[in-house]
Structure 1
Amino acid sequence: MTVQAVPASVAAALASSERLEALDAARPAYVGPDADFTGIADLAAGLMSAPIAIVSLIGDRTQWYLARRGTAEVSASTDNCFCAHLLTGTGGPIVVGDALHDKRFCRLPDVTGKPHLRFYAGAPITHVGQVIGSVCVFDTAPRATLPDDASLLHLQQLAKLAGALLLAKEESRRRAIANAAITREEQRQASALDAANVGSWLWNIRTGAVVANAPLVRMLDLKPGAPLKARRIFSAIHLSDRRATVAKLRQALESGGEYDGMFRAAATGRWLLGRGRVHEWDSDGRPLMFLGITLDVTEGQIASERMRLLLRELNHRVKNTLAMLQSLARQTLRQTSDPAAFMEAFAGRLHSLSEAHALLSDHEWGSIRLMAMIQAQVRPYADDFDGQVEIHKDEVQLGPDQAIGLGLVLHELATNAHKYGALSVPEGRLVITARVVEEAGHKVLNMTWHETGGPPVTPPKRRGFGIVLIERSLDKVLGSSVHLEFLPSGLTALVRVPL
């Protein structure tokens, strides 16, 4: 027998984009037998005294069975589907007493062949006004007496129940997916905060309970896993900072503005920066939840304090240097009335101070190595530094006053050697010896500057500014001294600097 073709109106309804969109919105991820719908199929079968009952969803080509009774099938083609005709109806049920004598169904395979269906009653499952499925019953025996209106109404109610259950399950599934995504995001954020050592906390103002992550617990040296109250958090703040921190929190609560405060942890003394604001209010506008983060800013505070100390030291040094420059300028000017000679002498001394300042600045005004100072002050005045200058030394760290004073001494000695002494001729040699000795329990640097191979030396008839500068450049270093010996073979300077 020829298979009955699906009417054009039914085919159009099956393929309707609006209907398929409604179906997709309600269809579960897995479309197949679901125990939650079995009770509806059983009720439908009992209501109509029918051996076969099905709860289904209707796609464009397939009818999927969510629950069935009296058949082992889990799906059917819409070409062999009674329920497809519900799509073109008025939204009410369809009842067929004998499908063999109904032109809509008489040539369907399930009618002409096994299981030889005859009786059918089906009610549509709808969503947003579109038929997406059905609750239906079958019998292999025809029925002359059709179900009454009350029975059909109950069948419709079962279809509505199936639709509501379908939507509830789908909503629950989507909610579970969303919650899982939120949970993953929360875990990701928590891991990021933990990795970045950012403390986070949520304060229930009404109960006083605080939920805190692991970094905050570590920062405040609290017991891991123990229930936290606001009082316990406040007591973990350093006593000197506690009152100000609580006052800032109270102000943020009253104003609804941001809390931003710096404080120290009582147990460790580390500096922490807290920020937060009211996250939730009750119906009367009173704050309920306060959300915040806490950062360990100890390293930044140390760096900031170090910078302040450095600036104070720099300010002090600049004042001293300006005073020294004024004195150098006056003394240099007294020694010569020639502007060119003045500029040459003064510029050299200014460059010496600049070199010492640069070295100290590179070391944040802490200390610099003696070798670095010697090279910076002597190398510019030696045509062959490696060949003419011999250095024997103990490695010494010089403080700011020692470095600036000794730098001027070395500069004056080097310029004098370049103009008149051992560094003025290729065969001249300079030997610098610097040794650290213990004197009365204190370390002292004894440095000898000895020139040989240069022009013969005669003692000066008067003490010029250069000599005075050499002898007095270390005046700020208590216990220091510079002694010059004008030996015929070359100038010798004996420098003593307490360390």
Structure 2
Amino acid sequence: MLPTLARVLGSQDRLAVLHAAAPDMAQPDSDFDALARLAAGIFGAPIAHVTLVGQDWQWFKAAVGTPETRMRVEESFCAHTIAQGGREVFLVHDASRHPVFRHWRKVAEAPSLRFYAGVPIVLDGQAIGTVCVLDVVAHSDVPAKQLEELRRIAEIAAVLFKIKEEAHTRSLKEAALLRQEQRLAMALQAANVGSWLWDIRAGTVAGDGAMTRMFGLPPERSLRAKAVFSSIHPDDRAATFSKLRKAMAADEEYDGMFRIRSSGRWLLGRGRVHDRDGKGVPLTFLGMSIDVSEQQEAVQRTRLLLKELNHRVKNTLAMLQSLARQTLRQTSDPAEFMMAFAGRLQAISEAHGLLSDHEWGTIRLSELISKQLRPYVSDYAEQVELHKDEILLGPDQAVGLGLVLHELATNAVKYGALSVPKGKIVLTARSVVEEGSAVLHLTWTEVGGPPVQEPRRRGFGSLLIERSLDKIIGSSVKVEYMSAGVTALIHLPLYSAARP
């Protein structure tokens, strides 16, 4: 293969657009058949293709006049069409007289190809394939109108590929949102935490299933605010309203406890105004509730544990509120917000569940890794390779690291090693002594996935990976976007893990 041709076909930018637009490129697609027939009819040619051109192979998404579905790029006219650059027609009037093509097998032997005309299919500035026609007789004179029609067919093919790419992306997002919603339901059931968004002007509250169950209300996405507030026990209602009004007026956090009228159960509520209009009038209020009935009923035990419980609950709710506000900024739809928020809540819930099982002492790193990664792999033993020392984590380390692992896994499922069946995650965890203190060095490496490019824009997930360990002095997370796969280097002091 000519050096220039190999360089163009092997361009990582081009291949990235190609794989994004047509992950099923090897499969013919009948949606393109009409375009191939149209091109053949315009030129009166027996052969026409709608193709995709990879680094080594050319695939026919639609074909007229041939049963083949692919061919090597070494004898592909379309590879030269792409290599020429731009959007112009590549013409070969008589291949038997062409210095490059006359010795090709399909030119010198049957079917004795002579004429070729092809136009690149361009998406996002990259030529990913062609619309082309071939004939076994030479065409010495090709009307400009025919060439223009071929260009238009290529443009239609590009639009169709884009529509299919967007539809595929939407289906993946919908599937991911559905999985997140399912994880949210499981997380809220395990953690017994309810989330809600109060639209003050509309007088409605969008709550998740855990919230509606706690308040004894129908399992509906949107409820009247009056119905929600009426479910609070009459003896606690005035104090709750007073605290809410004070928090909204002073732009402070609401923090209070109240009973539910129908069940008598105690809830701990926390929240604050999410946004205001130009005059400072509150528009939406974001809140969360946790059922603390058992603690209230077991007064003696609660007195021993309440200080630690409040500390953990407030820290967790504060973290959840921050996550929720950042997630909410990405969508104005309350229902979509509830689904998008699920994965991050699940990650925190898993860490809390492990800590709770160990009475908020220490947990093993391997248990945390297993809890966070199993939902994202079909075969944990095959897709997660762990090399580790025996390392114990305290509450702060476990919650922060759990959130980092969740975000890395989510990105790997969307874009990295876990987006393909053969991809895997390799984790190496070592406990080393630095300046007399134990430190965890954890390396996350993705292998076997698609080529990786550093994102042009850093989203909230990237910031979350970097900042989830901020409260632990001396910690850091560095993410490197290597072409072979994402690598994350985590530095985490372990000095507080042994604290009671």
Give the alignment's TM-score, normalised by structure 1. Answer: 0.54
Deviations 1:262-289 (A, max 9, x none): 1111123222211223345668875444
* Larger-Rg structure: 1
- 1:446 alignment counterpart: none
Shift of residue 168 of structure 1?
A: 3.8
- 1:133 alignment counterpart: 129
Alignment counterpart, residue 156 of structure 1, candidates 142, 151, 156: 151
Shift of residue 189 of structure 1?
A: 2.2
Query: What secondary structure does 1:100 align onto?
Result: helix
Shift of residue 23 of structure 1?
A: 3.3
Query: What secondary structure does 1:200 align onto?
Result: strand
CA distance 1:155–1:283, shift in 2 (3 Å): farther
CA contact (8 A) 2:122 2:129 kept: yes
Greater RCO (Cα-Cα under 8 Å, separation 6 or more): 2
CA contact (8 A) 2:295 2:301 kept: no
The answer to whether 1:247 aligns with 2:220 is no
Aligned partner letter, 1:213: D
CA distance 1:160–1:279, shift in 2 (3 Å): farther
Q: What are the residue-to-residue correspondences of 1:319-330 with 2, within 5 Å? A: none
- 1:185 alignment counterpart: 180
- Percent identity for Structure 1 against Structure 2: 46
CA distance in 2: counterparts of 1:77 and 1:307, whole angstroms = 72
Deviations 1:382-416 (A, max 9, x none): xxxxxxxxxxxxxxxxxxxxxxxxxxxxxxxxxxx
CA distance 1:22–1:228, shift in 2 (3 Å): closer
Aligned partner letter, 2:104: L
CA contact (8 A) 1:199 1:214 kept: yes
The answer to whether 1:147 aligns with 2:143 is yes
CA distance in 1: counterparts of 2:231 and 2:297, whole angstroms = 21
Q: What are the residue-to-residue correspondences of 1:274-423 with 2, within 5 Å? A: 274-279=269-274, 287-304=282-299
Deviations 1:354-396 (A, max 9, x none): xxxxxxxxxxxxxxxxxxxxxxxxxxxxxxxxxxxxxxxxxxx
- 1:112 alignment counterpart: 108
Aligned length: 302
CA contact (8 A) 2:185 2:209 kept: no
The answer to whether 1:257 aligns with 2:249 is no
Query: What secondary structure does 2:255 align onto?
Result: strand
CA contact (8 A) 1:86 1:131 kept: no
- 1:103 alignment counterpart: 99
CA contact (8 A) 2:207 2:221 kept: no
Alignment counterpart, residue 90 of structure 2, candidates 85, 89, 94: 94
CA distance in 2: counterparts of 1:229 and 1:284, whole angstroms = 25
CA contact (8 A) 2:120 2:128 kept: yes
Shift of residue 291 of structure 1?
A: 2.9
Aligned partner letter, 2:260: A
Alignment counterpart, residue 82 of structure 1, candidates 77, 86, 100: 77
- 1:215 alignment counterpart: 210
CA distance in 2: counterparts of 1:189 and 1:54, whole angstroms = 47
Shift of residue 50 of structure 1?
A: 2.6
CA distance in 2: counterparts of 1:306 and 1:18, whole angstroms = 61
Shift of residue 113 of structure 1?
A: 2.9
Aligned partner letter, 1:38: D
Shift of residue 137 of structure 1?
A: 1.0
Give the alignment's TM-score, normalised by structure 2. Answer: 0.54
Aligned partner letter, 1:200: S
Shift of residue 234 of structure 1?
A: 1.1
Shift of residue 167 of structure 1?
A: 3.6
Deviations 1:67-122 (A, max 9, x none): 22222211111122111112332421112222222223222222233333222110
CA distance in 2: counterparts of 1:73 and 1:203, whole angstroms = 60
CA distance in 1: counterparts of 2:67 and 2:26, whole angstroms = 16
CA distance 1:119–1:259, shift in 2 (3 Å): same
CA distance in 1: counterparts of 2:276 and 2:113, whole angstroms = 64
CA distance in 2: counterparts of 1:76 and 1:161, whole angstroms = 24
CA distance in 1: counterparts of 2:106 and 2:135, whole angstroms = 11
The answer to whether 1:34 aligns with 2:1 is no
CA contact (8 A) 2:265 2:293 kept: yes
**What is the root-mean-square deviation in Å for CA atoms of aligned residues?**
3.0
Query: What secondary structure does 2:232 align onto?
Result: coil
Query: What secondary structure does 1:157 align onto?
Result: helix
CA contact (8 A) 2:118 2:131 kept: yes
